[in-house]
Every structure is written in structure tokens, then in C-alpha cells.
Amino acid sequence: MARLRDCLLRLTVTIRSLLFWSLVYCYCGLCASVYLLKLLWSIGKGPAQTFRRVAREHPPACLNDPSLGTHCYVRIKDSGLRFHYVAAGERGKPLMLLLHGFPEFWYSWRHQLREFKSEYRVVALDLRGYGETDAPIHRENYKLDCLITDIKDILDSLGYSKCVLIGHDWGGMIAWLIAICYPEMVMKLIVINFPHPNVFTEYILRHPVQLFKSSHYYFFQIPWFPEFMFSINDFKALKHLFTSHRTGIGRKGCRLTTEDLEAYIYVFSQPGALSGPINHYRNIFSCLPLKHHMVTIPTLLLWGEKDAFMEVEMAEVTKIYVKNYFRLTILSEVSHWLQQEQPDIVNKLIWTFLKEETRKKD
């Protein structure tokens, strides 16, 4: 009887795995077909405009603004990769490590670099493959294990054993994983607009709306075509993410200036600059769900209610995975780009969380 039960369990796991991967590949094909139609439509309207790209040889002045901090580099001994980061605040102060999302880079934390440098050594990192950080060619170099190890090694290289860890979007995913795998490295965890990874994988399989909102996860599984689609029409898709009515920063928010937007386009228009960031997504389905998933450190989750990519219900469910103090704050009428759209509110909420005493749940 026990042997039969084990066989049925293995069969169930196998069937679920087959259904999962069938869903992944079918949706990949559907997304590719939709984007191919968009490409053909764009070419039909104006082929010259579709393939137009403006040469950008020099970075916008805002990327070298001294008020944001100092540009630094660190080479990791084991991987051999050189990481770029911008640091503000005195050495020796507690470390605040900032992990950006997609399609972003260290500059998405400009408001926080200025705000928290009075009491912290604030480090805004370019993740593996982004910006001025080295970008390995092969997709296998972007597995979640590699990304987690990067953060651990960077902390060691900076001379710290622990930090306040803040992550947004994909950086939030990595922040959750660091807190799960290396809780001793994190004093407090702050995540912006990304649920616990297990909540995400479970929710997306049960709710078609989230499957639609996360279509880019599936589209990015296809080689080279996503990079090409991002680059057509002089990176119109990139501009659209930050400025459109559906996905962009809200009308009441702190909108990106022309120079801010140009900074993003400059970084991602460099040769090969899109492959590394998109490769982060090309390993995700083989790494989730997690075997170990409980978070045991004080956690603040900030969420923009108008997030075009994440259902707000996932934020509520996340608390079951945090076996410590947990606070969720949902900001109404705010988009996915929370720390850029409402920096004053976000900074105030972070200060409050950092200064309050947090007591572990029984």
C-alpha cells in the first residue's frame, strides 16, 4: 500500500511538472506570436522608423551627479566579475544595500541615495549583466544561485557581515532569496512590489490575470527576439514602460524628466546591454518554487496598488511566509515604480520601519 502511495505521489508530481512546462512553452509561443504581429504592424506603418536608432555615445549629466554618490567598482574573487555600484554616506556606517529591478539600474535609487546617506553607507548596485557591471554571455550564468552568491560576495568585499537589504521588482525577488538563504546577513528586509517567490509561482498558476500581467516572463524565454523588440523604434518599448498610461508612473507621481528617461535609454542602448538583464528571466522557471521558503527577519513590504505587472492580492498572502515582524503598506493610485514615483512617502515609510523596534512573532 505504501509503495502504491509513493508511486501515485511521484506520478502526480510528474504530471504537474509536465503541465507546468507545457504551460510555459505554450505561453512562450503565444507571446512570441503577439510580438511578431506587433513587429510586422510597425514595419508596415514605417520600416525606416521601426529600425531607427539614435547613437548615444555620452552619458547624460545626471548619471555623474556628485550629489548621488561616488561611482565604485569591486571585483569578486570567485566569479571574476567586476561589479559597479554608486555609494553615498560615510564608510563605517551601517550598510544599506539597494537592488534594482527590470529594466532599471542603480539610478532608480537616486532618491534613496540622497535620503539615507546621513545614517547609512548606501550602496546602489548594478546587478550582474546590468549597466557597467560585467555581463557573462551564457544564460546559465544568471541562475538564481549565481545572483544570490553575488550579493553575499559583494557584502564580503565591502567589508560588511550584514546590511539593511532593499529590493524592487526583480531585485525584490533576489532580496527575498537572500533573506531565506542567508538570514544572518540581513538586519531588516524591505521589498517593493514583489511578493514572496512561492506566492508568485502559486498565484500565477491559479489566476489567469496574473499570467497575462507576467507575460514578459514567458516572452523572455525566447532567444534574441525580446532584445530585438526592445530596441526597435529607438527603444520605444522601454520608454513606454515608464511613461504609458497603463504601465508608467501615475499623473500624481514624480514623473521621469527627459534626462532621467534618456539615462535609461543610454544604458540599455549600449551594445549587448539587454541580453544580461533578460537572461535573468531565462532561468526562473527551473528554480521555482523554493524548497526552503520561510523568512525569519523583520520585513516591510511596500506595494503600489496600480501596479500593472503584479496583482495586489499577492502582497496580502506573502505574510504567511514571514515568521517575524511583518508590515505591509499598500499605496493607492501608485504604479509599479514606487520608489521613483513617490520617493518622499517611500522614504518616510522606510525611516519609520528602520527606527522602530521590531519584536519577533511567537
Catalytic residues: 169, 281, 336
Residue 242 phi/psi, 5-degree rounding, is: -90, -20
Confirm if 125 and 99 have CB atoms less than 8 A apart.
yes
DSSP three-state, residue 191? strand
Nearest to 186 by CA among 268, 275, 95, 276: 95
In terms of phi and psi (left: phi > 0; alpha: psi -120 to 50; beta: otherwise), the region of 55 is: beta
Which phi and psi (to 5°) does residue 45 adopt?
-70, -35
The alpha carbon of 235 is separated from its chain's Cα centroid by a whole number of angstroms, namely 20
Q: How far is Cα of residue 340 from the mean position of the Cα atoms in its chain?
A: 14
Q: Is 89 left (phi over 0), alpha (psi -120 to 50) or beta?
A: left
